[in-house]
Structure 1
Amino acid sequence: MEFTAAQIAGFINGKIIGDPEAVITGVSPIERGETGHLSFIAQDRFAHYINTTACSVLVVSENLLTKDSYTPTIIAVEDAYLSFQVLMNLYEQMRERKTGVEEGSYIHESAEIGEKVYIGAFTYISEEVKIGKETQIHPQVYIGKNVKIGRNCRIDCGVKIYDYTVIGDHCTIHANAVIGSDGFGFQPSEKGYTKIPQLGNVVIEDDVEIGSNCSIDRGTIGSTIIGKGTKLDNLIQIAHNVKIGEHNVIAAQAGIAGSTTVGDWNMIGGQTGIVGHIQIGNKVRIQGQSGVNTSAADGEVLYGSPAMNAGDFRRNYVHFKNFTEIINRINILERNAKEKSNE
């Protein structure tokens, strides 16, 4: 697709400095700009690229502009970063969306498929499945019995969705994620570990995004729940009966053990481990690689393994770095004290 600078400025309410008819056919990172491409500059440390980039059009935060004219066409906005996000979202919506069923797919006769749905080749859709309008099911997806998928969702290649899963509207599930597999439930006995049947399901609310290769276990009884607006990075494990609230962001390789409840608007760093049966409040921030083994109140910031209050962690870490010196000083003091007592 081609756009002029004037068209782009109209989308984001920007002011043009330069040629409004400049045409762009693609986008580039500012460090590797190309002629005919669009990029953006939102921070002072990238401002020197305004004069050196090969890009034809730049979206620039107006506080970074110091001249009346530049070599590329400039679209001045209040916040270039946010404006560029708006443009990317518009471009995503404008891209051609497929419809129809590709050859090699199987759809059970009892399944209900909405209008303008796309089902890619070699996808398997079981009985009593319901798929909302304009949802995109890419090739080689498996959808189990009685699964409900809302409208305008995107299910990427290789995703496996087990029986009775419920997925809301406007959700994205990236390649090879597994939704609704067995929870890790076993009862120790004299003969070994006996499997506990996992009879629940997974409920994914509206506007959730799940990264590639995530695994979300169904509840033992009841539901594992991913709340509205929550975003999961790649390679995340969510165990059975976990309840995650709204608008959380969880980075890659995090794991949350069974029956833990996570509130709203939390930020959980990569490789964080959270034990089962605890409560994480609202607006909690957890540093990457933390190990959380106790409940956290609203607004806490946690570091370390086992995780502790961030302020305590930093104060203790100062001492930890000097731990060898401190031990040596203690040993000297004890030796001196012992020598005095023997005099």
Structure 2
Amino acid sequence: MEFTINEIAKLLNGKIEGDGSQKIININKIQEGKPGDISFLSNLKYEPHLYSTESSAVIVSENFTPSKPVATTLVRVKDAYSGFTELLQMVEKLQKPDLLGVEEPCFMHESSHMGEEGFRGAFSYIGKNCSIGRNVKIHPQVYIGEDVKIGDNCVFYTGVKIISGTQIGENCEFQPGAVIGSDGFGFAPQPDGTYKNIPQLGNVVIEDDVSIGANTTIDCATMGSTIIKKGVKIDNQVQIAHNVVIGENTVIASQSGISGSTEIGKNCVLAGKSGIIGHLKIADRTTIGGNTGVMKNVKKPGQTLLGFIGIDLKDYLKSFAVFKKLPQLEDKIKDLEKKR
């Protein structure tokens, strides 16, 4: 990577404050920046580093006002975080070779078809009757079962498993070890205390622009489909059970779990280690805090839930104001008991 600040600003539709002729050869954190680096400032918690960084340039939002003189060159864009993300994407395209062709040994059944500009890595496997679009990159040791449909511009990193019957839209990305379409956790209790396996005959449907993290598991439906709608982003090590529906543009962080037949609305946020029991409906724009357990339907859109058993944020904060004072209240009770 080697660009002038002027060239970067042009790519990002940004405006320069300072010397735009300097060369940029690296991207770095603002607190670790060195000459030749470009950094960004989005979270104002890191603003103090702006006045001491050695980075040659820092990307900031157009409405940011420094509280002190700045020695580095500023590149002002509409939104610093989005602008920096765009820069990272450009650099990634430059650094990653465009994978094309077929590495051997690998296998694709004669009844399956893959579009142009694709890549199949060594030891990958594609089963019967699969339809795979253009510019799909299948890295080594990926398994794709029978009757799978995949749209254009998808990427499957090493070790991904796509089980038979799965349907995937365009522009989707699957990080290493993701498993899509494994059997749901379905067992019927018997009178003698044992469990009888319930066949899982459905599939998984993943719409366009979905990102699935490493070692995340999405189970197939018992009947019908487990559905991940357009624009959903799922972190590493997430469990999504059978017949779940995830609404458009919902974001789910690591180690969260969603039990069977739950429906989550659009534009929701599930923080790390959150959990939702089965057969619930979660309204659009719901935010579920880290380690929060949701035990009932969320009917009102836009709520924030927090706590081991998720309750409305305002109710939780009122409760927190009381239980953080419990040691003092206990002392007062002891004093009152002594006076009896």
- What's the TM-score once normalised by structure 1's chain length? 0.90
* Aligned-partner residue type, residue 240 of structure 1: H
SS of the counterpart of 1:225?
strand
Moved more, 23-32 or 45-54: 45-54
SS of the counterpart of 2:6?
helix
Aligned to 2:266: 264
Contact 1:119 1:139 in 2 (8 A): yes
Aligned to 1:314: 317
Moved more, 24-33 or 209-218: 24-33
| Change over 3 Å in CA distance of 1:296–1:88 after alignment to 2 | same
Q: How many residues align?
A: 336
Contact 1:22 1:73 in 2 (8 A): no
Distance in 2 (alpha carbons) for counterparts of 1:51 and 1:291: 42
Distance in 2 (alpha carbons) for counterparts of 1:316 and 1:102: 60
Residue deviations 1:136-189 (CA, integer Å, cap 9, x gap) = 111111100011111111111111110000111111111101100000000111
Structure 1: runs of 5 or more not aligned? none
- CA RMSD after TM alignment: 2.4
SS of the counterpart of 1:127?
coil
Q: Map 1:170-189 onto structure 2 (within 5 A).
A: 170-189=171-190
Structure 2: runs of 5 or more not aligned? none
SS of the counterpart of 1:194?
strand
* Aligned-partner residue type, residue 308 of structure 2: S
SS of the counterpart of 2:90?
helix
Contact 1:145 1:164 in 2 (8 A): yes
Q: 2:282 aligns with which of 280, 288, 291?
A: 280
* Aligned-partner residue type, residue 79 of structure 2: D
Displacement of 1:26 after TM fit?
2.2
Distance in 1 (alpha carbons) for counterparts of 2:220 and 2:309: 27
Contact 2:210 2:230 in 1 (8 A): yes
Q: Map 1:174-323 onto structure 2 (within 5 A).
A: 174-191=175-192, 192-297=194-299, 298-323=301-326
Distance in 2 (alpha carbons) for counterparts of 1:47 and 1:237: 37
- What's the TM-score once normalised by structure 2's chain length? 0.90
Identity %: 44
SS of the counterpart of 1:34?
coil
**Higher Cα Rg, which structure:** 1
Distance in 2 (alpha carbons) for counterparts of 1:197 and 1:279: 25
Aligned to 1:136: 137
* Aligned-partner residue type, residue 261 of structure 2: S
Distance in 1 (alpha carbons) for counterparts of 2:107 and 2:274: 39
SS of the counterpart of 1:220?
coil
Displacement of 1:25 after TM fit?
2.4
Q: Map 1:1-343 onto structure 2 (within 5 A).
A: 1-42=1-42, 44-50=44-50, 52-62=52-62, 63-64=64-65, 72-94=72-94, 95-191=96-192, 192-297=194-299, 298-323=301-326, 326=329
SS of the counterpart of 1:319?
helix
